[in-house]
Structure 1
Amino acid sequence: MSTELAKHEISPEAKKQQRKKALKESLTGYAIISPWLIGFLVLIVGPMIASLYLSFTDYDMLSAAGWVGFENYTKILTSDPRFIQSVKVTLVFVFISTPLKLIFALLLAMLFNTGRKGTGLFTTIYYIPSIIGGSVAIAVVWRQMFGRNGAVNGLMEAIGLPTMNWIGNPDTALSVLILLIIWQFGSPMIIFLAGLRQIPTELYEAASVDGANRFTQFLKITLPMLTPVIFFNLVMQTIGGFMTFTQAYLITGGGPLDATLFYAVYLYEVAFTYLRMGYASAMAWIILVLIGVITFILFKTSKYWVHYESEGGR
C-alpha cells in the first residue's frame, strides 16, 4: 500500500511547476481583461467614489469643496419642490411608457413570429428606431413634427381637426415624449421574438387538438412560457426609462412649467447650469437608491408570476 501511495505522491518539484503554471494562467487572464478592468476602475468605480464624497460637500467647480455632511440630502428631500416635481414626472413617464412599449413590442414580435417570407426584413426595419431613436437628430425631428407648424398639426388641419401646441402645452408635452419612447420598441421586440422562437410548437399543436383557440393558447402557453423574457425586458426598460435625458432636454428642455422635468434633466441643470456639483452628486445617489429599490421590488415580486421551465414554475 505504501509503495502505491509513493507512486501517486506528487514531488515538491512537480508541485512547484503546477503553481507556476497556475500563476502564469492567472496572469494571462488578468492581462487579457486588463483594458476592461482599468476602464471599469478609472471610468466607473473612481467617479462613483468621487461623486459619493462630493455629495457631502458644497462644491461649485470653481472653489475647493467644503464638507457639509447630510445638508445636501436634507435640502433635496425636504425643501426642493422641483426635485419632487422631477420625481413625479419621471415616475409617471416610466410607469406609462414602459408597459405600453413592451405591449407594442410583444404584439409585433408575435406578428413577425409567423415564419412568413420577408419577416426578417421587416424585423430589421422595425428595429431601426431603437438604434437612432435616442439620437440628437431624431429628437430635433420629433420637436419639429410636433411643433406649432409641424407635420402633425399640418395633417390635423388637412383632415379638418383643430391644431394645438403639442410641446408648449403642459397637458400634452409629456405625451409627446412618451410616444417617442414607445416608438423605440425594436430592442425589446427582438428579445421577445427570440423568446417566442424558444417555445416548443408541440405545445400549440396539442392545445389545438384539445380545441383551444388562439387567445386561449396565448394566455395558457405563450404568456407563461414568455414570463422570464417579459421580466428581463421589464427590468431593463424600467431602468432605461429612469435614465431618459436626451429626448426631454432637446425637445422640451424640461418645460413647459416643468411638465417634462425628468430627473436626469433636473440633475444636469443643477450640475452644469448652476454649478452645484455637490448637490447634483447627492441627487445622483438618491436616484440610484430609488432605481435599486424599484428593481428589488420587481425581483421580489417576480416569484409570483415568472415561471422558469427548469424549476417547474414558481
Structure 2
Amino acid sequence: MGPFDWLPHAPLEPLNLDWLAQAQVEVAVLRLDRIDPLITGNKWFKLTEHLAQAREAGATGIISLGGAYSNHLHALAAAGKRFGFPTVGLLRGHRQQNPTVLDLQTFGMQLHWLGYGGYRARNEPDFWLPWQTLYPYLHPVPEGGGGLAGALGCRPMVDQARAQLDGLGWRDYDGWWLAAGTGTTLAGLVLAEAGAHPVYGALAVPDDHGVAQSVREVVQGGYELIDASRGGFAKVDPVLLAFIDATEQACGLPLEPLYTGKALLALKGQVEAGRFAPGTRLIFIHTGGLQGRRGFARN
C-alpha cells in the first residue's frame, strides 16, 4: 500500500470572471480536479496519511463510509483497484444502483448498506467494533477521509500552490477559499499556513453536520466558516445551477452543485458585498467531485 508515497501535481490557474475584474479581486484556482482521472480532487491528498497508518498497522486494505454518490468512496475504490488493495464501503441509506455505486462495484469495493439510522451512528464510540471483527485486516477510515490524518495529508497543497505563484506574477496571496464538507482539507491548510494566511471555508452542509466541531478538534484559529449550504446538503436551486452554467461558459471551469459550485457562488456574494478590498489575491481550491454531477439529470 505504498503508491501514495508520492503526490500528483495540481496546476494553479488564474480565474478570469467579470465579477472578479469589477471588484479588482484576483483569484487563482488550484485544480485538484486535474490531478488524476479517478483518484481526483482532494481525495488523493486526504488518503495519503490514512494509507501510511494502515501500512504501519499491518493492514492490507481500507474500510470507510459515505453516501451513495460519495466522492471519497469513489476515489478510494479506484485506488484499491489500481494499486491492488481490498476496499470495503459502508453506505448511507438503502441499496440502490446509480453511476457511482456501479463504479464502486466495478472497482471491486465490497459494499454494505447501513440504512439511515445505522449511518447516523457512525460517530458513536463503538461504531467500528463489529466491522473490525468482520474485517480484522482492514484499516478504518472516517467519513470523507477525515480526522487528523486526512488533514495532515492536505498540507502539501500549500507548497504546491506557493511554488506556482511566479507563474501568475504573484509575490504573495491573501488567503484561501474552498468548499468545506467535513472540514478536513480546510484544517490541513490551516496547519500548513501556521497563521501566515487565513483560510475561508464555504460550508456545503448545514451546521448540524458538525463541521465546526471537527475542525476545532484539529486546529485552533486561522480560519473562518461561511454558510454556503443554500438550505442543506445536496440542496440545489435554479440560481446555483444558472451560476454554474454561466461560469463554465465564461471561463471553462467545470463545477458541480454540491461543493465547488456552492463555494464559488458564496465567494461571488462576498466579493460583491465588498468583503475583500481591491487588490486582494485569493487561492480557490477546486476539490474535485465532478463524478457526483451524474446525480443530477441535467449533467
- Shorter-chain TM-score category? under 0.3
More relative contact order in 1 or in 2 (CA 8 Å, sep 6+)? 1
Larger Rg: 1
Structure holding more helix per residue = 1
TM-score by length of 1: 0.25
Structure holding more strand per residue = 2
